[in-house]
Amino acid sequence: MRQARDEAPRAIYAVAMDAASLYIHIPFCVRKCEYCDFYSGVAGEEEIDQYLDALEVECALRFRQPFSPRTIFMGGGTPTRLSATQLLRLGDILRKRIDLSQCLEFTSEINPGTLTPEKADALMRMGVDRASFGVQSFQTKFLQGLGRAYEAGTATRAVQMARDAGIARISMDLMFALPNQTIDDLRDDLQRALSHDTEHLSLYALTFEDDTPLTRQLQSGEVQPCDEELEREMFELVGSTCSEAGLQRYEVSNFARPGAECRHNVVYWTGGDWHGIGAGAHAMIDGEISQNGADFKAYTKALLQERRLPTTRQEKLSPQARAESLLLMGLRLTQGVELARFERFAGASFDSICGETAKRLTALGLLELTPTHVRATAEGLLLLDNLIVELADAMEATV
């Protein structure tokens, strides 16, 4: 069984090793959700058109030679806030600089309430072959609390639009541990999601991010956080329900049928390389992080008026920081972190840096070591933040 666990997904995980990927940020929304801390804003049609002009200039400056990404992910914001005409134009912009012939996966995030048949067709014509629907819940009472009541009842229609347009791969995002949510509420959401024959589900416990409307409601006592024991019960229900439906956990919050894992996100989790374009987009190339400024108006001005890249941050990670990042992200995967990759990043073996701490965590049943990988156990996934802190502390102690 251990051999199968290590070897079965090797093709999926190899994506991160041999080519850079591409992230495209579309920072526009119909309105800001109560829980969201990603960069996004509300804009008019003229501002969106200018943003696309700027995106075209960024592509020309950044990719002077044609770029062949192995995966593409278009996120936001809400990419489907764009009109069908704007989406088709974005496709034309990309094709001038981006060679899609080697692309294994092109994902677009979709908020169900913003999709139309025309937009679904435009996405397909762009090359999108995987739709990631931000459903969050099928129940109006929870959508209302998340600031998404306008999307109640739209998910089923939106999924059908995508399928009718020829986008075959479907993923859904759901949230749990919501204020006043019961275990039966979550069970109902899971069953509704699975009834769409989706091949991939992402299920995230609600996090109260800094400076969001929902966090301010928490601080004022308007909402109460989910009880820790109930959240644990929900986490376990998610795992068992998805497994029974044939979707296996491959990352702490992600479940897929065999071969349907999100290849693009695997790039992040295994320390691979990716370029980022758009306001607020990040990139990581050979251990160097860069970021565009998170202001679409400043982004547009920098590119259209000043003809310069809108980079506001560049940082070359030290070997230790790069290895810590690999642990932070890679231990989220059920496959875990490849020891040879850790050693390549850190310049020293995992055993020489974290060996004693890893042995103690293994004895506690929280960590598992094989000749090729270190991974969290099922119990360890429940305490993942603590595991990562302890291993990071061990790394700090060796400096």
Q: What is the pLDDT of residues 254-311, one digit of tens each?
A: 999 999 999 999 999 999 999 999 999 999 999 999 999 999 999 999 999 999 999 9
Q: How confident is the model at residue 356 (pLDDT cuts 50, 70, 90)?
A: very high
Domains of the chain listed by start with CATH number: 9-269 (3.20.20.70), 319-398 (1.10.10.920)
Q: Which residues, in sequence order, are bridge partners of residue 200?
A: 171, 256
237 touches 194 (CB < 8 A): no
Angle at which helix 319-330 crosses helix 384-398, to 10 degrees, equals 160
| 397 vs 91, residue with greater confidence | 91
Q: How confident is the model at residue 390 (pLDDT cuts 50, 70, 90)?
A: very high
* DSSP-based three-state secondary structure for 49: helix
pLDDT confidence of residue 12: 54
pLDDT confidence of residue 397: 83
Per-residue pLDDT for 399 more than 70?
A: no
Per-residue pLDDT reduced to its tens digit, 134-168: 999 999 888 887 776 556 678 999 999 999 999 98
Looking at every residue in the chain, the average pLDDT score rounds to: 89
pTM of the model: 0.89
* DSSP-based three-state secondary structure for 308: coil
Q: How confident is the model at residue 31 (pLDDT cuts 50, 70, 90)?
A: low
pLDDT confidence of residue 152: 61
Per-residue pLDDT for 230 more than 90?
A: yes
* DSSP-based three-state secondary structure for 133: strand
Per-residue pLDDT for 9 more than 70?
A: no
Per-residue pLDDT for 6 more than 60?
A: no
Distance of CA 158 to the CA centre of its chain: 20
| Percentage of the chain exceeding pLDDT 70 | 87
Per-residue pLDDT for 239 more than 50?
A: yes
